[in-house]
Amino acid sequence: MTDTLAARAAALDGADPLAGYRELFVGTDDSEVVAYLDGNSLGRPTRASADRITRFVTEQWGGRLIRGWDEEWMRLPLSIGDALGRAALGADAGQVFVGDSTTVILYKLLRAAVDARPERTEIVVDTDNFPTDRYVLQGIAAETGRTLRWIDADTASGVTPEQVAAAVGPQTAIVVLSQVAYRSGFLADVPEITRIAHDAGALVLWDLCHSVGVTDIQLDDWAVDLAAGCSYKYLNGGPGAPAFGYVRSELQPTLTQPIWGWIGSSAPFEMGPQYAPADGIRRFLSGTPAVVGMLAMQDMIALVAEAGMEQIRAKSVALTEFAIELADDLLAEHGVTIASPRDAARRGSHVTLRHPRFREVTAALWERGVIPDFRSPDGLRLGLSPLTTSFAELQAGVEAVRELLAGR
């Protein structure tokens, strides 16, 4: 069985039109790492980023010094935002910014949205949304006197349009969901749910942390209002790299975010007495742009643009299909179940397996250089990054899980 599957993996790699991208990333030739299966937590650095960051410190920061702000750095939050919008979000220019953390951007955009609709008392969110989304909303509900209406998401099947239709109404200020669920990998029907929310007069915010760079996203066409996401998973921006936010053009003049900082003001270098928000997307910025943290994502965004989201999504589907095949063939007999959708159309780029022993198994895997993620209480996530994950390392990784479960 193992030999057959290894041959299958080799054949899939051989036929993969994106296989050549793998060598553009640091560490893919590192023999200590047998299988890196956590691209949905932290993407690998591109080799271009390693060069860019080294040159930045000596030539830009060390050489241009303060002049770099005028020459380029001050524009990065919006120029990188535009490039990301074009490559991966289906967003025209002037609607995406980069900065802060996902948590802070969620706070700013959600406060702006809720404050703009004082007559609407409820915020709809699902119980399986990422903790930071839920916690930010609990804080906003507490401080603005709103009520959270919880959709009880089935971990396997995610949030359905029917559930959203039942939850929204004239009282709904905004619906806050993730396109891909962080545990199961369930891929929500963004255009349909967005339409349902709009029919009730509500806004929507989509968290794209686990989907940006691996799934089809058409924010403009889908008439999404707000979105946020991180850049360190499938955008390979590096640990804790700044997040991004999207605000649909027509909405921008109607929203004021609560953290009034100089970089989001209409004339930062006049340093005048009174804050006035900048026109356009810049009003959603607050503090000084996090330049060093923004460097690496630029190279991955360029690779995503070059490879094209259609091909990337096709490989993502092929990888998750193979992961499920491997789990069925190698792990089911050891009691492993699959917590992710079997329908590829409803699945992001990670597959979550369940087994009571996965906490200890993950620790043992890491020592062997097989690196998936563990999610309490019993989930093992295989995060598959289309430009860096090979079918061979996926097969080797699942084989290692089998060996550990078999007691070897």
Task: Give me the catalytic one of 44, 248, 381, 402.
Answer: 381
Q: How far is the CB of 265 from its own copies (least distance, A)?
A: 6
Among 218, 268, 280, 403, binds its own copies (CB under 8 A): 268
Q: How far apart are CA 307 and CA 310, in angstroms?
A: 8
**Side-chain-facing half-sphere of 38: CA atoms under 13 Å:** 16
CA separation (Å) from 123 to 180, 186, 331? 19, 22, 40
Does the footprint of its own copies cover residue 208 (CB under 8 A)? no
Comparing CB distances to its own copies, the nearer of 230 and 361 is: 230
Among 17, 139, 145, 308, binds its own copies (CB under 8 A): 139
Q: How far is the CB of 116 from its own copies (least distance, A)?
A: 13
Q: Which of residues 63-82 bind its own copies (CB under 8 A)?
A: 63, 65-69, 73
Q: How far apart are CA 369 and CA 203, in angstroms?
A: 44
Q: How far apart are CA 139 and CA 219, in angstroms?
A: 27
Does the footprint of its own copies cover residue 61 (CB under 8 A)? yes
Q: How far is the CB of 315 from its own copies (least distance, A)?
A: 20
Cis (ω within 30 of 0) for the bond into 377?
A: yes
Tell me the two tokens of residue 19.
Answer: 């296989």
Tell me the two tokens of residue 180.
Answer: 């891909």
Task: Give me the catalytic one of 22, 120, 146, 233.
Answer: 233
DSSP state string for 142-209: HHHT-EEEEE--BTTTB--HHHHHHH-STTEEEEEEESB-TTT-BB--HHHHHHHHHHTT-EEEEE-T
* Residue 233 falls in the annotated catalytic set: yes
Q: Which of residues 237-256 bind its own copies (CB under 8 A)?
A: 238-243
Q: Binders of its own copies: how many residues, by CB under 8 A?
A: 84
Q: Which of 27, 82, 67 is nearest to 297 (CA)?
A: 82
Does the footprint of its own copies cover residue 283 (CB under 8 A)? no
Does the footprint of its own copies cover residue 356 (CB under 8 A)? no
Burial level of 119, CB count in 10 A (0-12/13-18/19+)? exposed
* Residue 207 falls in the annotated catalytic set: yes
* Residue 374 falls in the annotated catalytic set: no
Tell me the two tokens of residue 214.
Answer: 């691996």
Does the footprint of its own copies cover residue 311 (CB under 8 A)? no
Q: Which of residues 182-201 bind its own copies (CB under 8 A)?
A: none
Q: Which stretch binds its own copies (CB under 8 A): 2-10, 125-133, 189-197, 351-359?
A: 125-133
- The amino acid sitting at 127 is T
Q: How far is the CB of 91 from its own copies (least distance, A)?
A: 22
* DSSP assigned state of 347: B
Task: Give me the catalytic one of 25, 97, 107, 130.
Answer: 130
* Residue 315 falls in the annotated catalytic set: no
Helix (H, G, I), strand (E, B) or coil at 122: strand
Does the footprint of its own copies cover residue 349 (CB under 8 A)? no
Among 287, 308, 335, 356, binds its own copies (CB under 8 A): 287
- Spell out the residues 6+ positions from residue 11 whose beta carbon is closer than 8 angstroms to its own: none
- The amino acid sitting at 73 is W
- The amino acid sitting at 309 is M
Q: Which residue has the tokens 């970089």?
A: 263
Q: How far apart are CA 210 and CA 117, in angstroms?
A: 28
Q: Which of residues 85-124 bind its own copies (CB under 8 A)?
A: 99-104, 107, 115
Q: Which of residues 12-41 bind its own copies (CB under 8 A)?
A: 25-27, 30, 32-33, 36, 38, 41
Task: Give me the catalytic one of 207, 225, 299, 373.
Answer: 207
Q: How far is the CB of 75 from its own copies (least distance, A)?
A: 13
Comparing CB distances to its own copies, the nearer of 217 and 290 is: 290
Q: What percent helix, strand, coil does the chain show, rounded to 5?
A: 45, 15, 40
Q: Which of residues 291-310 bind its own copies (CB under 8 A)?
A: 291-296
User: Rg (Cα) of the chain, in Å, rounded?
Assistant: 22
Q: How far is the CB of 348 from its own copies (least distance, A)?
A: 18
Q: Which stretch binds its own copies (CB under 8 A): 16-24, 88-96, 190-198, 230-238?
A: 230-238
Give me the active site residues, please.
130, 207, 232-233, 381
